[in-house]
Each structure stands twice: as structure tokens, then as C-alpha cells.
Amino acid sequence: MFSMSTLFLLILLGLGYIAKNQAILIAVYILLGIKLLRLDDKLFPLLDSKGIFIGVVVITVAVLVPIATGEIGFAELYNSIKSYYGWIALIAGMFVAYIAKDGLVLLANDPHLTAALIIGTILAVVFFQGVAVGPLIGAGIAYMVMKLVDSVLGIFT
């Protein structure tokens, strides 16, 4: 008989298939494969503790490839900051990196909220063709909003 976690993964597999989302499909295939090969006791703790870091490294490498190939250099950087779009991009990049750091704090300190963030990310990936980089940024935004709500409610209590 299937465990509840396997059933949940199979539901996600179905949703990923319906939405034609390769990232969800590949992730679920990998997790089901790990479970099928009974490597979950060894690999899940590693993926749980280092998975986000590994993912951030892979994304960072991918983003830096144009710099490594010479496609983007100092001239392109200089040209990009000549426009207000370039400044918007620069500020947006700084903002999301800044709030993502608090996302790490939230995910570490409030694991019960992780489930809601993950489900929200999966729903956005499946139904809105989103990209599953959302949990960390989502956690950062959630942390920021929680602190804002705490400070506003603190005024009234």
C-alpha cells in the first residue's frame, strides 16, 4: 500500500503532467525514484538540509554563465544602468536577495509554515506556469509581512 507521502507525490505528478510542468515532473520522479530505491533514509536528510543551498548554487552558476562566456561584461553593465529599466532591475535584484535572507530564517524557525509555502509554490507552478524558486523568496516576503503586521498590531495592543 502507498504511504501518504507517496500518494501526495503521485498527486503532484498528475498535476505536473496536466500543467505540462517539467520541473515538477522531474522533481517528483527523482523523489519517487529515491523512495523506490529505498535511499530515502540517506538522501532525504541531505536534500532537506542542503537542497536549497545546492539549488541556489546551480541557479547562480546559470545566471553567471553569460559573464563567464564574455557575453556580458562591464560595457553591458554600464549600458544597463543608463536606463531606468536597468535601475529597476538592479533594485529588484537587491530587494529579492535582501528579503530572501529572512526567508531562510523563517524556514528554519517555523517549519510548519514551510508546508504552506511549498503548497503555494506548487500551485503557482502547476496552475500559473510559475517557476519553483518561490519558497525562499516567498518565505522572505512572508517574514517581512509578518514583521510588519506584528509592528502594526503592536501599536494597538
User: 69 vs 5, 25, 73, 133, CA distance in Å?
Assistant: 42, 31, 9, 25
Mean pLDDT in the chain? 83
Q: What is the pLDDT of residues 45-79, one digit of tens each?
A: 999 888 878 887 888 898 899 999 999 899 988 88
Q: Return left, alpha or beta for 73; rule: phi > 0 is left, psi -120 to 50 is alpha, else beta.
A: beta
Amino acid at the residue 156: F
What distance in Å separates the CA atoms of residue 37 and residue 155, rounded to the nearest whole number? 54
pLDDT at 82: 87
pLDDT at 29: 95
For 96, the grid coordinates are 529579492
pLDDT at 135: 62
**pTM of this prediction?**
0.66
| C-beta of residue 135 within 8 angstroms of C-beta of residue 118 | yes
